[in-house]
Amino acid sequence: MKQFLQIALGILSAIGGFVDIGDLVFNTQAGATFGFELLWVVVIGVIGIIVYSEMCGRVAAASKRPVFDLVRERVGFGAGLSTLIASEVVNLLTCAAEIGGVAIVLQLLSGLPYRFLILLGVIGLVVISWVLPFEWLERLFGYVGLCLLVFAVAAIKVHPHWGGVAHGFVPGVSSGNRLVYMYFVVGLLGAALTPYEVYFYSSGAVEDAWGLKDLRINKITSIIGYGLGAFLSFSLMIVAAVLFLPRGIDPQFLGTPALGAEAALGKIGLVLALVGILFAVGGAAIETSFSGAYNLAQFFGWQWGKRHRPSGAPRFALSWLVMFVLAAGIVMTGYDPVKITEYSVIFSVVALPLTFLPILLVANDPAYMGSNRNGRFSNVIGIVYFVLILAIAVSAIPLMILTNGGQG
Amino acid sequence: MRLIARIAIPLAALLLLVACGGQGTLGKKALSQEAKGIQSLAAEGSLLAGDAARGRSTTVFTRVHARFLRDAARKSAATLEHGGTSKAQRLGRVADRVGNDLERLSRSGSDRELQRLLEHDLALASAAAKRLDKSL
């Protein structure tokens, strides 16, 4: 019974924590531009994050060490350092976008000035991160993030053409602007396969002291949690396809997805959507700042983890604090968080091979994994995804330039 | 020295011309992008105004989101102001109208009648921007 409860809570937390600002921006823009045509890309992305998160969790449970700890050991200092730098840049950009998102949603709820709300938001996130233990951080943001399920209700309420929705799950090539279509394919995959999620998941498994007995929980949580979380992405895209595409609305603001929930469900839909977005992006801000600190500490061999008091792991605590401060500094310049999101997602795509190759290598290494190394199925699917990741990593920047960031 | 001046002065004049030309005239693609942007802002504003008129939005959300849309419309209007061609100027006037409507929406509070009017006017502005885009 206790294990069932643990699994259920883990799944709820994974659903609520699935969506971040990248998903909100790219899923809504994709729906408003191509209707249901890109739903299949979300499926591909979610299977990828399930495969690699499961590997990360298994590595952490079997070796009792998180992935980044093993990266340097397995691939050497030079390659490890390249991975570290790329991950930190992407983490910082993503953290900045999420903090900007927090401030915008607070502004849409309160009407107070944006820069004041950046400060308030960061102070709030720092205090929460400092005070709450790791498992409560996950739960608070994951559970309240479940308010985003309002988009699933909105998706039903707007009465989409279900035949068209079903057709959207069949991979195809658009009859519209193909370069823009490809840009959104890359963006949606990048939004689903974010590096910080796997680092955070893996470090979280060590924080929660996972062992071999937890391998089943790892598998179930990653498959069902992320799988159900994908429904939020589908919902965002369906709402945008029905409400925004026919009107020619190109969503460029974080309030636009919330406007979709409002148009479908009225005031209650709007408030639930804003609260859900606030906790989703707030949780992601904490995950990215922690992910940055985890990577640094694990790479340089510092004491790390929320299970230690800040005085017991001072460089780790200082690292996540600095991440928050730098990220807040970036959004304080006034640069649009939605634009930062687009750049952070595209740059994270470029850094994906550096993140996912070491995971694949370590998960397949009997010296670390013993009998829990990848089976044939995991290897085949892991390699197929790695080839896909390489392809999108190579094409991401050219597509962003050629399509003017998806504007055509 | 005279040779340098003979080359440098026409070159500087050419650069100045190119720079002024770049600022003054918007190409067809840039104009079309502006038109699509204005059409989108007006349509989004219309949707927001309609929800506000039916009591389906909060006052704060209407005010703040309308301001975001207004700022984007004004930025577009400022770009089009020196657009050069008559179509750019017509589009600029539509952007101005959208910006003004969104400003009024952001200040509309709970004035349902005004919000209904703005819903209609923004829908018309959206259609006008779409027509201009097609005529490019």
Quote the mean pLDDT of chain A.
Answer: 90
Output the pLDDT for position A207.
Answer: 85
Tell me how close the Cα of B1 comes to any Cα of chain A, in angstroms.
43
**Residue of A249, A254, A272 best to disrupt the B interface, most CBs of B under 10 A:** A249
Which pLDDT does position A390 carry in this prediction?
95
Report pLDDT for A387.
Answer: 95
Q: Which residue has the tokens 């093993």?
A: A70
Distance of alpha carbon A207 from the chain centroid: 19
Contact with chain B for residue A255, Cβ under 8 A: yes
Distance CA B52, CA B115 (A): 7
Tokens 């649009």 correspond to A336
How far apart (Å, rounded) are the C-alpha atoms in residues A6 and A16? 15
Residue of A112, A253, A268 to mutate, interface with B, max B Cβ within 10 Å = A253
So what's the pLDDT on residue A228? Answer: 83
pLDDT tops 50 at residue B57: yes
Share of chain B above pLDDT 90, in %: 68
Per-residue pLDDT at B18: 46
pLDDT band at B22 (very low <50, low <70, confident <90, very high): very low
**Between residues A359 and B106, the one the model is more confident about:** B106
CA distances A380 to A46, A265, A349, A360, A374, Å, are 17, 44, 21, 11, 9
Q: Which domains does chain A have, with CATH numbers?
A: 8-402 (1.20.1740.10)
pLDDT band at residue B21 under the 50/70/90 scheme: very low
CA distance A144 to chain B (A): 20
Phi/psi at A66 (nearest 5 deg)?
A: -75, 170
Q: CA angle at residue A213 from A208 to A219, to 5 degrees? A: 80
Give the model's pLDDT for residue A45: 94
B9 touches chain A (CB under 8 A): no
Residue of B39, B48, B63 lying closest to A248 (CB–CB): B39
Q: Residue A346: which residues within 8 A CB-CB, separation 6 or more?
A: A186, A187, A190, A396, A397, A400
Least confident of A29-33, A74-78, A265-269: A74-78
Q: For A164, how many CA atoms within 13 A lie in the half-sphere containing its CB?
A: 12
Chain A hits for B47, Cβ within 8 Å: 243, 247, 249, 259, 263
pLDDT of the residue at B122: 98
Nearest chain A CA: its distance from B71 CA (Å): 12
- Indicate if the pLDDT at residue B70 is higher than 90: yes
> A110 contacts in B (CB within 8 Å)?
60
Lowest mean pLDDT among A100-114, B14-28, B54-68, B93-107: B14-28
pLDDT over threshold 80, residue B9: no
Indicate if the pLDDT at residue B56 is higher than 50.
yes
Contacts of residue A287, defined as CB under 8 A and 6 or more positions apart, other chains included, come to A17, A196, A197, A200
Q: Does pLDDT of B5 surpass 70?
A: no
Q: What is the pLDDT of residue A80?
A: 86
Segment A263-267 shows an average pLDDT of: 97
The pLDDT assigned to B17 comes to 46
pLDDT, tens only, A196-222: 888 888 888 888 888 888 888 888 888
CB-nearest partner of B51 from A108, A262, A274: A262
- % of chain A surpassing 70 pLDDT: 96
Would you call B134 an interface residue with chain A, using a CB distance cutoff of 8 Å?
A: no
Confidence bin at B11 (pLDDT 50/70/90): low
The pLDDT of A241-255, averaged and rounded, is: 96
**Any chain B CB within 8 A of the CB of A249?**
yes
Residue carrying the six token digits 């607070």: A106
Contacts of B107 in chain A (CB under 8 A): none
> For residue A305, what pLDDT is reported?
86
Query: Does residue A297 register a pLDDT over 50?
Result: yes
pLDDT tens digit string along A131-185? 998 888 888 888 898 999 999 999 999 999 999 999 999 998 777 788 999 999 9
A118-142 average pLDDT score? 91
Q: Mean pLDDT across the stretch A228-250?
A: 95
- As a whole number of Å, the CA-based R_g of chain A is 20
Question: What pLDDT is recorded for position A4?
Answer: 67
pLDDT at site B19: 45
Q: Nearest-CA distance from A247 to chain B in Å?
A: 6
Q: Give the tens place of pLDDT for each residue, A24-73.
A: 999 999 999 999 999 999 999 999 999 998 898 899 888 888 878 887 78
Looking at the predicted structure, is the pLDDT value of residue B43 above 90? yes
CA-angle at A105, arms to A99 and A110, nearest 5°: 125
For the stretch A1-19, pLDDT in tens is 566 666 666 666 566 567 8
